[in-house]
Amino acid sequence: MTEGLAEPGDVDGDGTVSLADAILALQVCAQFTPSPDVYVISEVSGDGRIGMAEAVFALRKIAGM
């Protein structure tokens, strides 16, 4: 996994939380994308991994919830 200054939910580390982050989190969850391609610091659930919790977090943030 990549470490950087990504904010929570910013799985791809581009500086914003968007649908792309939710999709990437789901891809990691489904093992379509290897975890080294994502920013582990954007992880929100406390388990140290990118997965469904991060996808839901990103979707909620996009929706303003």
| Phi-psi category of residue 55: left, alpha or beta, with phi > 0 → left and psi -120 to 50 → alpha | alpha
8 Å CB contact between 6 and 39: yes
Cβ nearer to Ca ion, comparing 5 with 30: 5
Cβ nearer to Ca ion, comparing 10 with 54: 10
Near Ca ion by CB under 5 A: residue from 3, 5, 14, 30:
14
Spatial separation of the C-alpha atoms in residues 64 and 14, rounded to whole Å: 19
Cβ nearer to Ca ion, comparing 21 with 54: 21
12 near Ca ion, rule: CB under 5 A: yes
